Homo-oligomer: A and B are copies of this chain.
Amino acid sequence: MIKVAIMGFGTIGSGVAEVLDINKKSIAARVGDEVELKYVLDLRDFEGDPIQEKIVHDYKVIAEDPEVAIVVETMGGVEPAYTFVKTMLEAGKHVTTSNKALVAAKGAELIALAKEKNVNFMFEASVGGGIPIIRPLNSCLTADEIEEITGIVNGTTNYMMTEMTEKGADFNEVLKDAQAKGYAEKDPTADVEGYDACRKIAILTSLVCGQQVDFEDIHTEGITKITPTDIKYAQAMGRAIKLLATSKKGPKGYTAIVAPFLLPASHPLYAVNGVFNAIFVHGNVLGDAMFYGSGAGKLPTASAVVADVVEMAKNLDKNIPIEWSSKKLELVDYREWENRFFIRTTADKVAVERVFGTVTYVQAEGVTGELGFVTEKISEGDCEKKEAELGNILQKIRVA
């Protein structure tokens, strides 16, 4: 019998308890032993709920119980999650977390601590919800050098962009709808400004390069400035606007960015709609691959957490190495990254061509009084300079 504790009994935490219960038999068969929930750490008492008898309010009860082998952290946020997780690892317990804020900020340190204690710190659910991506990066794509990793890793904004595309609705309207449906939080900043996606691409890039990538270093733009007019242009180009979190390895090193991109219909991420997430990977020998699934939601995310529990339960005496050192990776300045850019302006063609040279104009249905055009491939830095020179810029969206 392997005893588990859950810290934080919100949506994901209660989902983990549910999955451990629903699939009790098949999990026991895979592990070769029964996996049982012993404690739930939460501030609340859950009076009258069957979970009540497992509730504890002090994390030290869990840390000090030698019976508990595996701890699930589903509280969210850096503190007190960090303190609790660190204590559990120091007490020789395996820990899995769904908490991207914690992993992005403290991943390298907690991985090192787990290694030192010969236990495991896993975080499959911290990126892409139920989609297996951390384990595939760590144990499947091991023959490759990963040259690009690009994800639609935020379900809220992908739902919103899909709705804006399909219904022609504007940002605020779609946000209200997403909030009403529970897809967006009351304070949607972390999602719509790209902060959530930024932490996730920091984690993925750290795993790909094996070093610490600080999310604060990643240039991040959200979707708040995308308008129905932009969508019309996208449709005229046969493209879709998606919030991408992407990092690429170039001759000088890794660059990462979070921003809306115009994706062609031929791109595997083009058809990823609604609350679904997907992560596209390009390996130097594998070529293109993509992992698709539910990026959020109670049970899908809990499925990923429990997959970590199963892996740890099968390796109770063994640290499975994860290459992610605390040595900081200096990202190449995003301004050096070359892209084509779609730009909308009230300037005239003479000015546009004087500043940007050869461009391709785009005409969107019913849009007048402005110009829309796509630049040749230029660096982000160049583009910023040219925008300042041209002036009268209404919008800029990267073209993938």
The chain A residues found within 8 Å of chain B, CB to CB, are 18-19, 22-23, 26-27, 29-30, 124, 130-132, 135-136, 139-145, 268, 270-271, 276, 283-294, 297, 299-300, 302-307, 309-311, 323
A30-B142, A286-B304 are known contacts; what are 13 more A-B pairs with Cβ within 8 Å?
A: A30-B323, A130-B283, A130-B287, A136-B136, A271-B271, A285-B300, A285-B302, A286-B300, A289-B291, A289-B294, A290-B293, A291-B292, A292-B292
Q: Is the CB of A143 within 8 A of B303?
A: yes
With A136-B136, A140-B132 already in contact, the answer to whether A303 and B288 are too (CB < 8 A) is no
* Residues of chain B with a CB closer than 8 A to A323's CB: 29-30
Contact status of A287 and B300, CB under 8 A, knowing A136-B140, A140-B132: yes
How far apart are A206's CB and chain B's nearest CB, in angstroms?
16
Task: State whether A132 touches B141 (Cβ < 8 A).
Answer: yes
Q: A23 to chain B: which residues have CB within 8 Å?
A: 143-145, 284-285
A26–B323 CA distance with the chains assembled, in angstroms: 12
Q: Which residues of B contact A136 (CB under 8 A)?
A: 132, 135-136, 140
Output the least CB separation between A132 and chain B (Å). Answer: 4
CB closest chain-B residue, reference A271:
B271
Q: CA separation between A285 and B132, bound complex, in Å?
A: 13
Residue of A26, A145, A293, A302 ringed by the most chain B CB atoms within 10 A: A293
Q: Which residue of B lies closest to A292 (CB)?
A: B290
In-complex Cβ contact of A288 among B139, B271, B293 (8 A) = B293
Q: Which residue of chain B has its CB nearest to the CB of A210?
A: B29
Using Cβ atoms and an 8 Å threshold, which residues of chain B touch A139?
135, 139, 311
Out of B141, B286, B293, name the residue touching A289 (CB < 8 Å). Answer: B293
A303 to chain B: which residues have CB within 8 Å? 141, 143-144, 283, 285-286
Instruction: With a 10 A CB-CB cut-off, give which of A143, A290, A305 has the most chain B CB atoms.
Output: A143
Q: Select A310's contact among B143, B145, B276, B309, beta carbons within 8 Å.
A: B143
Contact between B268 and A270, CB atoms less than 8 A apart: no
**Chain B residues within 8 Å of A302, by CB:** 143, 285
Shortest A233–chain B CB gap in Å is 22
Shortest distance between the CB of A281 and any CB in chain B (Å):
8
User: Shortest CB–CB separation between residue A70 and chain B, in angstroms?
Assistant: 13
How many Å lie between the Cα of A286 and that of B300 in the bound state?
A: 4
**Cα(A293)–Cα(B270), bound, Å:** 15
* A307: B residues at CB distance < 8 A: 140-143
- Give, as a whole number of angstroms, the nearest-CB distance from A254 to chain B: 15
A299 contacts B287, C-beta separation under 8 Å: yes
A/B interface sample: 27 pairs, CB < 8 A: A22-B284, A26-B144, A30-B323, A130-B283, A130-B285, A130-B286, A130-B289, A135-B140, A136-B136, A139-B139, A140-B307, A141-B307, A142-B310, A143-B302, A143-B304, A143-B306, A143-B307, A268-B271, A285-B302, A286-B304, A287-B294, A287-B299, A287-B300, A288-B294, A289-B293, A290-B290, A290-B291
Q: Name the B residues within 8 Å of A288 (CB-CB).
A: 276, 293-294
Chain B residues, Cβ within 8 Å of A309: 143
A285 touches B143 (CB 8 A): no
A293:B284 contact, CB within 8 angstroms: no
| Cβ of A308 to closest chain B Cβ, rounded Å | 9
A299 neighbours in B (Cβ, 8 Å): 285-287
A13 to chain B, nearest CB (A): 15
Neighbouring B residues of A268 by C-beta, 8 Å: 271, 292
**CB-based contact A286/B292 at 8 Å:** no
The answer to whether A143 touches B290, judged by C-beta atoms less than 8 angstroms apart, is: no
Would you give the shortest CB distance from A298 to chain B, in whole angstroms?
A: 9
Q: Name which of A26, A132, A305 has the most chain B CB atoms within 10 A of its CB.
A: A132
Q: A30-B142, A142-B311, A311-B142 are in contact. Are A289 and B132 (CB under 8 A)?
A: yes
